[in-house]
Amino acid sequence: MTTYLAGRIASVVLSLLAASAVIFLIMEVLPGDPAQFILGMNAQPDTLAALRAQLGLDAPPLLRYVGWVLGMLHGDFGISYTYRVPVSELIGQRIGVSLPLALLSLALTIVIAFPAGIIAASKRNSRTDLTVIGVTQVGLALPNFWFAIILVYVFAVMLHWFSAGGFPGWDKGAWIGLRSLILPAIALALPQASILARVMRSALLDTLDEDYIRTARAHGLTRTQTLWRHAVRNALIPVLTIVGLQFAFLLAGGIIIENVFFLPGLGRLIFQGITQRDLIVVKSVVMLLVFAVIFVNFLVDIGYLVIDPRLRRR
């Protein structure tokens, strides 16, 4: 167990180093000069050179890469070219929106998908099963930004139950802040719940065909007891993988939804950084999201060992 964990931690470290190198290289080869963007096309060469020196853009790429990586190890992501404040401060402000939104969306995804997938698998080829398959197919087909616009029109414009967008801040109260995230969370959760429900159904159907399930039934367990005591737990391995990937997507992939609802999250920060050529913000936020993806996958690997004792013995 210790050897396995040490190997996984080493893999995480190497993955982060490789990702940081790729991200830095991509930012370097992108066209455009941040100093030119800030000063405009008519800026004088000496003014451009002075600003590039002030921003640290005149240093050799390798030196800037090493400084960026060492700074991140200490929590220093650099200074934003546009806002002239530490990038860590911008991330701290925006992650207070994106992280609760991702957690709320993931909770809604699990609450919807698990019962739907289990009910569909337990009633294979029935009308209920076909209904679940049809609904999830619709959920996969609908773009989440279109669904978000429909939610705004129905629940904000027509019914006035929620605000059409914006985030008042957590200092206004936990319920007020959470209330502003409900519609975006539903819009994000719909396609993810459809995916997870289908994966849960498929994994559970495969498990229900195993020999040990028939043995459990032969020992006198009812279908419901067999389903919950044996089948569901053993079907969680592929489901847990999808859940880990979905959380990473919900944390990083809400750019469109955040723009639809005018939420000041990490997605909008990346979008603004790209449009403003604020490359230090873009590469730092992307690196943070890569770390979140790798760390969540590491937790999923540990979850495998908790769910399946056979993996621990192996």
pLDDT of residue 252: 66
Residue 266: name the closest of 287, 245, 246 by CA. Answer: 287
For residue 207, the tally of other CB atoms under 10 A from its CB is 20
Tens of pLDDT, residue by residue, the chain (314 residues): 677 778 888 888 898 899 999 998 888 877 777 777 777 777 777 887 887 787 777 788 888 888 888 888 888 888 888 888 888 888 888 888 888 888 899 999 999 998 888 888 888 888 888 888 888 888 888 888 888 888 888 888 888 888 888 888 888 888 888 888 899 999 888 888 998 999 888 888 888 777 777 777 777 777 777 777 777 777 777 788 888 878 877 876 677 788 888 888 888 888 888 888 888 888 888 888 888 888 888 887 777 777 666 655 66
Residue 73, both tokens: 């190890």
Residue 237: name the closest of 301, 192, 296, 313 by CA. Answer: 301
CA distance 103 to 140: 20
User: What crossing angle do the helices spanning 279-307 and 236-252 adopt, rounded to 10°?
Assistant: 160
pLDDT of residue 111: 92
Strand partners, 88: none
- Report which residue type is found at 14: L
- Residue located via tokens 């603004």: 272
For residue 149, the tally of other CB atoms under 10 A from its CB is 13
CATH code for the part of the protein at 91-313: 1.10.3720.10
pLDDT of residue 107: 92
Task: Kindly compute the dihedral angle of the four CA atoms of residues 291, 297, 302, 306, in this order, to the nearest 10 degrees.
Answer: 140
- Measuring CA to CA, how many Å separate 175 from each of 59, 101, 166, 181? 48, 13, 15, 10
* Domain positions in the chain: 2-73, 91-313
Q: How many Cα atoms sit within 13 Å of 37 on the Cβ side?
A: 14
Contacts of 311 (CB under 8 A, 6+ apart): 304, 305
Q: Which phi and psi angles does 163 have, rounded to 5°?
A: -80, 155
Contacts of 232 (CB under 8 A, 6+ apart): 118, 204
pLDDT of residue 307: 66
- Please, what's the largest Cα pairwise distance for the chain? 86
Q: How many Cα atoms sit within 13 Å of 203 on the Cβ side?
A: 24
- The pTM score is 0.81
